[in-house]
Chain A
């Protein structure tokens, strides 16, 4: 009987060798090259999972500490309804609503203070300062104000996403070059025409940067806010109660769902960015 750990180690070495070989290939067709770019991280990810499985089985680590991926997968398949209910409570209600409201408010305030350099100089350093603060700490206060259900979590998400959006949008609106703005003036374009046709498109990379940062922040905010009190559904609630009951595989299943939701959310924003800012060098250069 071979030790699973040895098998996993062999698999790891083989996968690494495969990757070393793959990155040294430089095939002509662009499609092949893109395939390799996807394949290499994929092989690495599978190798990590195999290593995890092998270590847990090989050293007989109790599943209370670290369940093997196969056990987590079995738990995910078995408890789809619970996971879906938690996902709906946390992600579809708290995260999405808070994200839209927070980013929208940050964007609108940025447009409003755009005409006042005085307010900009006052608000920008403050916004930068607030971005460095542990805003997550307001979660217990929001739970006190707005109750246990999702509105309190959405409120945390709104506040967490507001400042990155504000700061980035203000910076983005200043990004169009003076020569472009002069051109708009020679066309006799008004403030709003200049805003919509020149400055907002020029600000798009900055705005999407904020949207991407916020997609991660929003999920963190909603889940952590649930640690401070929730109805009996939600991803943060499930994680904290199942940890208490030592159902570690359920916790990991919930984490897997959160990871997947976070990655898909980020991916959707990144795709939208590619579609909207197709003219930007970082997208065009591919």
Chain B
């Protein structure tokens, strides 16, 4: 039993995570110590090491909050507050999630369309593909505040401007993956389609599209993670109204470290859920198509 656990990934991961948590507590005590020592000195209390540990892990505005403080804050802002309230972390997570999903959907659509054109037109392939690659060496997130302000000035407010940043970030992995995927059929298979006198559309729907599916889902996983980053950064310049990015910014303005960390953990949970959902879709589609390993 134990050797089976050690052979798999579970035990190593659990041990590494446990080590990280222990190290985190150590750092929390160490980093919060100077402030706590100052407090003791001013009030003139005598303290033991146990006192020090207890107090450093329970500060109001710690340099590094302890994990249980972060989880207590998350519990307080998700379970004990109504999800519709502006003080609920779920409300902010939903704001971020909605623009992530909209941007992701638009980016996927744009990416697939571009890939289809690139595969079917040589001029498009030669002229657009280098710029698609170059567009990602541009730190596009730097333009995020710009795009938001410009679109607000045009009268586009709310969800769409933020979603467009996610779109820009997520179309790239989809284009690259789909171009590869749509080109993945072997020449012999394409030849077979030609002997059936299949039209371009038939070849596309019956051969190219199905064989691109594994590539599509792999890129979608990258795209959804990067969409979330785009949505969070897109929320920074809107004046910290709502969303996880706004929570980060507000937390950094007011020195609320516990709030920042709980927003970060929420973002991490969102990313994990999104990637897991895409992964499940991946397995399901491949199974239906009889391509599962």
Contacts and interface: CB of A to CB of B under 8 A. Distances in A.
Contact of A248 (B146, B249, B267): B146
B255 interface: yes
A44 B267 CA distance: 39
Q: How large is the interface on B (under 10, 10 to 19, 20 to 34, 35 or more residues)?
A: 35 or more
A143 B63 CA distance: 11
Contact of A129 (B136, B252, B260, B272): B272
Contacts of B17: 126
Contact of A227 (B129, B139, B237): B237
B16 interface: yes
Contacts of B176: none
A240 B252 CA distance: 16
A133 interface: yes
Given A19-B123, A140-B249, A236-B142, A126 B237 contact: no
B33 to A, nearest CB: 14
B114 interface: no
A239 B126 contact: no
Interface in A71-97: none
Contacts of A66: 150
B271 A132 contact: yes
Contacts of B264: 134, 137-138
Nearest to B150: A65
Contacts of A144: 63, 252, 255, 257
B131 interface: yes
Interface residues of A, number: 64
A237 to B, nearest CB: 11
Interface string B92-125: 0000000000000000000000000000001101
A229 interface: yes
Contacts of A31: none
Given A65-B154, A243-B145, A262 B137 contact: yes
Q: In the complex, which of the residues A44, A254, A266 has the most CB atoms of chain B within 10 Å of its own CB atom?
A: A44
A280 to B, nearest CB: 18
Contact of B145 (A65, A136, A228, A240): A240
A41 B130 contact: yes
Contacts of B248: 137, 139-140
Interface stretch (B71-79, B206-214, B228-236): B228-236
Interface stretch (B7-15, B39-47, B285-293): B7-15
A224 B142 contact: yes
Interface in B1-34: 6, 9, 12-13, 15-17
A255 B143 contact: yes
Interface of B: 6, 9, 12-13, 15-17, 63, 122-123, 125-131, 134, 136-143, 145-146, 149-150, 153-154, 221, 225, 228-229, 232-233, 236-237, 244-245, 248-249, 251-252, 255, 257, 260-261, 263-264, 267-268, 271-272, 275
Nearest first, the 4 A-B pairs at minimum CB distance are A122-B12, A140-B252, A44-B127, A122-B16
